[in-house]
Amino acid sequence: MTTTANDNLNDWLRDAHAMEQQAEKMLTAQAERLEHYPALRARIVQHIEETRGQQRLLDECLTRRGISNSIVKDLGGKLMAFGQAVGGMTTSDEVVKGAMAGYVFENLEIASYTSLIAAAQAVGDTATQAACEQIIVQEKAMAAWLLEHLPEVTQAFLARAEQPGVTAKV
């Protein structure tokens, strides 16, 4: 028995759906903990909304391709270890490590959708291709924002860390 390109695309769409569930958990955990970095927190909250929209787009792709949602739900948590490492971080420099890990995660998403776009193209699923092209724009924007703001997050953390009695880490 061979695995067809359509089977592989179905698997990768399920993986992407699990990845977006993990993204939502991770971003929500970060937003709940952040207190002293309002710009970072606001951008994360915006991306939580975008992530929910991405889940809906992937749901539509899976439904259109005849993949049931119950199968999708069973596969959540595939990237659990990664998400826990990010969302559950309690190091003294949590905000800096969290912003770095967020950037890494966005790039994992960019790579996933780049591959999905190529796979959708290969099987001629133009609707899935269009959905992934729509999603990847948001992932690239989030990655770019995090990288651009990492210096100021780092400097704000360093300044707060030097003040006695001030919490710097989140």
In angstroms, rounded to a whole number, what is the distance separating the alpha carbons of residues 139 and 19? Answer: 12
Q: Are 167 and 35 in contact (CB under 8 A)?
A: yes
Which positions from 2 to 41 touch Mg ion by CB under 5 A, shown as an x/- string? ---------------------x------------------
Residue 106 sits in the site that holds Mg ion (CB under 5 A): no
Residue corresponding to tokens 């003040």: 163
Question: Minimum distance between the CB of residue 135 and Mg ion, rounded to whole angstroms?
Answer: 6
Question: Minimum distance between the CB of residue 143 and Fe ion, rounded to whole angstroms?
Answer: 8
Tally of CB atoms within 10 A around 128:
24
Count of residues interacting with Mg ion (CB under 5 A): 4
Residue corresponding to tokens 């994360």: 44
Question: Minimum distance between the CB of residue 55 and Fe ion, rounded to whole angstroms?
Answer: 11
| Binds Mg ion by CB under 5 A, chosen from 24, 94, 109, 125 | 109
107 burial level (CB within 10 Å; 0-12, 13-18, 19+) = middle
In this complex, which beta carbon is closest to Mg ion, that of residue 94 or of residue 109?
109
In this complex, which beta carbon is closest to Mg ion, that of residue 84 or of residue 154?
84
In this complex, which beta carbon is closest to Fe ion, that of residue 125 or of residue 139?
139
Residue corresponding to tokens 């990664």: 82
